[in-house]
Amino acid sequence: MKPVLVIPTRYASTRLPAKALRLLKGKPLVQHVYERAIQAQDRFETIVIATDDQRIQAVCEGFGASVCMTSTAHETGSDRLAEVV
């Protein structure tokens, strides 16, 4: 059985808000991360982006990613991962 790859992503970053949606070479940062993950997709059962923000959800679905909406109460990415798994 292959593992699931979960990419925890949030909008309300404390040091750099909206970091996941910042453009780098014309694409949101989260898309760059997702595209790197896709290069290794044969190692995973599925790849999913976990977020608590509808703006991130919309952008990710726009480039074809699977998205799992999570609680806004999570303090860490690990908490978000635990909800998805």
Q: Compute the average pLDDT of residues 65-77.
A: 92
Tens-digit pLDDT profile for residues 4-38: 999 999 998 889 989 999 999 999 999 999 999 99
Yes or no: say if 40 and 2 are a contact pair by the CB < 8 Å rule: no
What is the crossing angle of helices 54-62 and 29-38, to 10°? 50
Answer whether residue 77 shows pLDDT above 90. no
Yes or no: say if 8 and 19 are a contact pair by the CB < 8 Å rule: no
**In sequence order, which residues have a C-beta less than 8 Å from that of residue 81 and are 6 or more positions away?**
6, 8, 50
How far apart are the C-alpha atoms of 85 and 73, rounded to whole Å?
16
